[in-house]
Structure 1
Amino acid sequence: MSVDLNEKIIECLKQLSVKELPDFKITSEMISGINIKDGNVQFLLELNENYKEHLKKITKAAELKVSYLDGISSVTAIPTSHKNLEVKNNSDEKKINGIDKIIAVASGKGGVGKSTTSINLAISIKNLGYKVGILDADIYGPSLPKLIGNYDKPQSDGKQLIPIKAFGLQVMSIGFLVAEESPTIWRGPMVISALTQLLTQVAWKDLDYLIIDLPPGTGDIQLSLSQKANLNGSVIVSTPQDLALIDARKGLNMFRKVDVPVLGIIENMSYFICPSCNEQTDIFGHGGAMKEAEKLGIDFLGSIPLDTEIRKTSDEGKPITEINKSCEQSIQYQKLLKSFV
């Protein structure tokens, strides 16, 4: 990224004036996530809720202003409105264009392998012949670009962002829009606004399924996004240990409160098979998620081992369900789908 051009963009936006909004001014704090590649510029623009009715007008004016700078061929501004988003029932939300069914993958606790599970579930569904997309909804710690080995910046058709294509999937993540090493220091309402726009202002095309990889936790962000996404169902990922199951139970109860069907629980890192002696070791315990599913009256979808190949292929950006569809690990992911695909 050109530092000089980055600074020029900020200074250019600070000079923006909108005829119908004489009091409107852009400050440096309102601009973030600037990305420049081959003359294509993208940035996030945080707007006060007082201007929520003028988002489109301000966005177009900002894009036009920046497009006049030398060396720039296209500009995409992504507005985020800092406001309190009202919690609504799913039935109040309109169906999102280009998507038939939406399934959220959630966990109460981080570090249980939810993102790895999400991408492998998405590819497994695709391998059955469906058209599938995946949305990385973790603003603070997006994992999807790493998991697919792709950090390309999405283009825009002038109205919506075009999803990145990877392994036959349509993919979107905030990680495509901000530098990998840049922390995202946003307040909750701004995060909710940005995620809503990543969901609704993306040109999803003829998807049978959209998988949403939710951030860990059960706060306002998860609750609001779950409702605004008009979910058809949710899947809970947990490790077998009691500590993870406590938080998984909270996630399940959150979905029940907003009338989102819980399709079942997946036990990830369920066991480890020693490659030398073939002995099974239950590092985090074993069977806890199955017992929890029975207790809560929901389906136990299956278990995935703590496996070196799954870890290795994930780190390399080549999910195991894509590069080796017939291996034992891929078959295990495929079996998880039997209850909801």
Structure 2
Amino acid sequence: MLTGNIISVISGKGGVGKSTVSANLAVSLARQGKSVALIDFDIYGSSIPSMMNISYGPKSMNNKILPVESHGVKIMSMGFIVKNNDPVVWRGPMLGKVINQFINEVIWGPLDFVVIDMPPGTGDVAMDVNRLIPSSNQLIVTTPHPTAAHVAERAGKMASNNNHKILGVIENMAFFQPADHEEKYYIFGRGGSEQLASKLGTELIAQFPIYAPNQTDFEPSIYKKGSQLFEKYNELAQKVQDSIA
């Protein structure tokens, strides 16, 4: 069974960096001494094992599942079940069974925080998760583009209608700033995230720039100390803790 504060990371559409935010938030919370679980419910676009450079799956004990651990975070993902990056072609009942299994049949142990990488949009899987986890704190990830923010508004309204608390909006790919340059390039426009936060009655709590990973990194999506986004995710982790406290 899950314990601790649940943080669902949601988006209106794919491709906005929701899984990257989920993974780095979980790792940052663990770096700050918290016991953290990361559940990858992005069933059709599971990417957490690849981001964490995990090449093995969970083990079992007494008919229960032991989560995989990486970066001090306990992890479960559909990516552990589907091999060789094969497509997921399961229908609703099977997916619902997996969701229930991840919540109720994993030996999580005591947890301070559970970060859930939600599927984008407002489809069946998202509704099943909302049903099984009736109360959570939600972060909405979008890009600055007005269309992306418009679509994300639907996911935010779904959260509000199901009595989830919206902690804030996270703007990913906010701008590009070349190394050793002060000028910022707003490739995807500006203003959409602020409008989204206003419509949902919340605030824009983080803006993450586009960051080119080091090609030698084995885990290019996990930002390491010294990188441009390392401190920004540490700041986000602290803001989340302050908002929930």
Q: Tell whether the structures are fold-level matches, with TM greater than 0.5.
A: yes
Alignment RMSD: 1.9
Q: For 1:127, which of 31, 38, 46 is the aligned residue?
A: 31
**Partner of residue 59, structure 2:** 155
Render the CA deviation track for 1:180-207: whole Å, top value 9, x for unaligned: 2322101123212211212211110111
TM-score by length of 1: 0.67
**Partner of residue 216, structure 1:** 120
Q: For 2:101, which of 188, 191, 197 is the aligned residue?
A: 197
Deviation at 1:312, TM superposition (A): 5.4
Render the CA deviation track for 1:27-55: whole Å, top value 9, x for unaligned: xxxxxxxxxxxxxxxxxxxxxxxxxxxxx
Kindly, what percent of the aligned residue pairs are identical?
A: 35
Structure 1 unmatched runs, 5+: 1-95
**Partner of residue 273, structure 1:** 177
Q: After the TM superposition, which parts of structure 1 deviate over 4 Å for at least 4 consecutive aligned residues?
A: none
Tell whether 2:1 aligns with 1:101. no
- Structure 2 residue identity aligned to 1:217: G
**Partner of residue 161, structure 2:** 257
Relative contact order higher in (CA < 8 Å, ≥ 6 apart): 2
The aligned length equals: 241
Structure-2 change in CA distance of 1:139 and 1:292 (3 Å): closer
Structure 2 unmatched runs, 5+: none
- Structure 2 residue identity aligned to 1:255: A
Deviation at 1:278, TM superposition (A): 4.2
Distance 1:113 1:133 in 2: 19
Q: For 2:41, which of 137, 156, 170 is the aligned residue?
A: 137
Q: For 2:230, which of 317, 330, 337 is the aligned residue?
A: 330
Distance 2:156 2:189 in 1: 21
3-state SS of paired residue (2:57):
coil
Structure-2 change in CA distance of 1:312 and 1:206 (3 Å): farther
* Bigger radius of gyration among the two: 1
Residues 108 and 247 of structure 1 are in contact (CA less than 8 Å); yes or no, is this contact kept in structure 2? yes
Distance 1:133 1:227 in 2: 19
Deviation at 1:150, TM superposition (A): 0.5
**Partner of residue 21, structure 2:** 117
Q: For 2:152, which of 248, 256, 267 is the aligned residue?
A: 248
Distance 1:148 1:238 in 2: 22
